[in-house]
Each structure stands twice: as structure tokens, then as C-alpha cells.
């Protein structure tokens, strides 16, 4: 079992290039990849999506990539002399028109937009792609490790709530036969209180049987037990099990609702409330299972 929450980072360097990759994942119904790259790195997007799809099955993943040129002499300062002359001429015109005197320093001129630009050597897409793949593989490895660790915590928490749900089901099963017996006793007591005598035992038994049929919850309890057993088995399963568990939790909730509506007993009603509380806790945790 794996969680869908994870984080990992990777770094790869060589041939004058350095690539860092950060991957952060949270829960999502499907695999949803978010990747925003500057135009000069757009060629890395198919590679990044392919690596994520191979390593993860579900969850929303944010990918952050950074490429840095580390080669000596990889950057150079370029000067736009024409633009520098235009700035100088404009300064002289403004001085003549306004009467404000002063000379533009070389530092002022260097600070003007566009006079100086920092240029880098052309990117080697093949080498950068190879480094990106290496960095992403390490980041995804860390993400998977963290998701497996978080999955272990999820497993124990789910097991605790499944055990509680199973115990409540057993309590309801023990209580259910008592409901019919108590109904018969109350019916006989009521008839005696009203002074009704000579009631046909068969008619009384028929009335009790009708009531028992209306509040019969054996089938619902049986299906609920089957769902709990399946859910317990999924705790030790590998691969993508979150969707299957989510379906089962919906079925468990449906059976609990039916039991609550049919039982006609205050004690069972309270047990159903507790049962639905455990099911809700299970549902919340299952939302983060891959």
C-alpha cells in the first residue's frame, strides 16, 4: 500500500550542465501532472511526463525543473553600442532643452536597459535531456520511498478503524435476535395491560414474524462482513488499490444506512452511528491511497 503524498528531489551534472528536479505529489483520483517550463526548456516536457507516468499511477504531481550552465566561459556580456549612443544623444538633447546640466557617467550608461545583456552558450538538448532523465529518476525514487512509508502509516490506521467496524458489526449481530424477542415480550405485556385474553398463539406468532421480517438485517450484516474482509485483504495488496477501496467504502456505508433504517432498535441505532463514524474515518484515509 502506498500513499499519494510524497516529495523527492534529484540532481545530475556533467559536460558543463546541471539539472535539478523536484517532484511533489498529493492525492488525486487519477494521475495529474502539472509542469510549467520556460520556452527554452519546453523540449523536456515529454520526457518529464513519460518518467512520471512510468513511476506513479495516481496523484497530482507538480514537477519543477531547473537547468544551469556551469561551463567556464559559458556566459558573456554583449554590448549594444548603437543603443548606448542613442541614450547618450537623448541625454544631451534633454540637457539642452531643459537647461539641466550634468554628464552621464559610464555606470549610468551601463545601467540603461538593453545596453548590456548576458548571453549563454547554446543549450545541448541531448545532453540536458539525459541529465534531466537522471535527475527525475532520483526524484521519483524518493517520492515512491516516501509514499511507501506514508502508506505504512495509512495501513495501520485503516486496520484500526476496520477492526472497530468489525467489532460494531458483531455487536449488532448479537443484538438483532434480542430485538424480536423483546418485541414479543412487549406485545404480550401490552395485550395483558389492555385486558385482552385468549389471544391465538398462532396469530401472535404471525405478528412477531412480520415484525422480524421488516427488521431483518442478516443479509446486510453478511455483506458488510464481506466488505470488511475484502478491505482487510487490500491492506496487504500491491499496486493501485485506492479506487477499489473507495468503491468498497461506499458499499459499506450503504449497508450501514440500510441496517439503521430497518433495525427499529435504539441500541442498534447508536451502534450504527458509531459504525458510520468509523466508515467515514476510513473514507477520509482512503482518499490518499494510491
Domain spans, the chain: 6-71+126-147, 75-120, 149-286
What local confidence, expressed as pLDDT, does residue 77 receive?
A: 73
Question: How far does Cα 144 stand from its chain's mean position?
Answer: 14
Helices (H), ranges, 194-237: 201-214, 218-234
Q: Is the pLDDT of residue 101 over 80?
A: no
Q: Cα–Cα distance between 253 and 245 in angstroms, integer? A: 12
Q: Is the pLDDT of residue 125 over 70?
A: yes
pLDDT tier, 263 (very low <50, low <70, confident <90, very high otherwise): confident
What local confidence, expressed as pLDDT, does residue 92 receive?
A: 84
Report CA torsion sign: 282, 285, 288, 289: negative
**Hey, how many other C-beta atoms are within 10 angstroms of the C-beta on 67?**
19
Between these two residues, 181 and 175, which has the higher pLDDT value? 175
What mean pLDDT, rounded, does the chain reach? 87
**Hey, how many other C-beta atoms are within 10 angstroms of the C-beta on 179?**
18
Average pLDDT over residues 117-129: 80
6-71+126-147 is classed CATH 3.40.50.720: no
Between these two residues, 119 and 266, which has the higher pLDDT value? 266
**Hey, how many other C-beta atoms are within 10 angstroms of the C-beta on 283?**
16
Between these two residues, 157 and 186, which has the higher pLDDT value? 157
Between these two residues, 195 and 202, which has the higher pLDDT value? 202
Q: What DSSP element (H or E) covers 13?
A: strand 6-14
pLDDT tier, 49 (very low <50, low <70, confident <90, very high otherwise): very high
Q: Cα–Cα distance between 216 and 214 in angstroms, integer? A: 6
Least confident of 10-14, 136-140, 261-265: 261-265
Q: Cα–Cα distance between 126 and 132 in angstroms, integer? A: 10
What local confidence, expressed as pLDDT, does residue 195 receive?
A: 63
Amino acid at each position: 500500500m502506498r500513499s499519494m503524498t510524497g516529495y523527492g528531489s534529484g540532481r545530475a551534472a556533467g559536460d558543463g550542465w546541471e539539472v535539478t528536479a523536484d517532484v511533489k505529489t498529493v492525492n488525486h483520483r487519477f494521475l495529474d501532472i502539472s509542469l510549467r517550463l520556460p520556452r527554452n526548456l519546453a523540449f523536456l516536457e515529454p520526457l518529464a511526463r513519460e518518467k512520471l507516468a512510468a513511476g506513479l499511477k495516481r496523484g497530482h504531481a507538480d514537477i519543477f525543473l531547473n537547468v544551469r550552465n556551469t561551463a567556464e566561459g559559458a556566459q558573456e556580456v554583449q554590448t549594444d553600442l548603437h543603443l548606448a549612443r542613442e541614450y547618450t544623444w537623448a541625454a544631451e538633447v534633454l540637457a539642452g532643452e531643459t537647461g539641466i546640466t550634468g554628464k552621464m557617467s559610464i555606470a549610468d550608461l551601463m545601467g540603461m536597459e538593453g545596453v548590456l545583456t548576458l548571453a549563454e552558450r547554446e543549450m545541448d538538448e541531448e545532453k540536458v535531456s539525459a541529465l534531466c532523465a537522471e535527475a527525475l529518476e532520483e526524484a521519483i525514487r524518493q517520492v515512491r520511498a516516501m509514499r511507501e512509508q506514508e502508506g505504512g502509516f495509512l495501513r495501520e490506521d485503516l486496520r484500526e478503524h476496520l477492526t472497530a467496524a468489525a467489532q460494531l458489526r458483531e455487536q449488532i449481530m448479537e443484538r438483532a435476535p434480542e430485538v424480536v424477542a423483546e418485541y414479543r415480550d412487549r406485545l404480550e405485556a401490552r395485550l395483558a395491560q389492555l385486558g385482552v385474553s385468549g389471544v391465538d398463539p398462532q396469530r401472535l406468532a404471525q405478528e412477531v414474524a412480520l415484525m422480524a421480517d421488516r427488521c431483518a438485517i442478516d443479509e446486510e450484516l453478511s455483506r458488510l462482513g464481506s466488505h470488511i474482509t475484502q478491505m482487510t485483504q487490500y491492506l496487504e495488496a500491491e499496486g493501485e488499490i485506492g479506487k477499489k477501496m473507495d468503491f468498497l467504502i461506499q458499499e459499506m456505508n450503504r449497508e450501514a444506512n440500510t441496517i439503521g433504517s430497518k433495525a427499529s432498535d435504539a441500541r442498534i441505532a447508536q451502534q450504527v452511528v458509531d459504525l458510520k463514524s468509523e466508515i467515514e474515518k476510513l473514507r477520509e484515509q482512503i482518499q490518499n491511497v494510491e
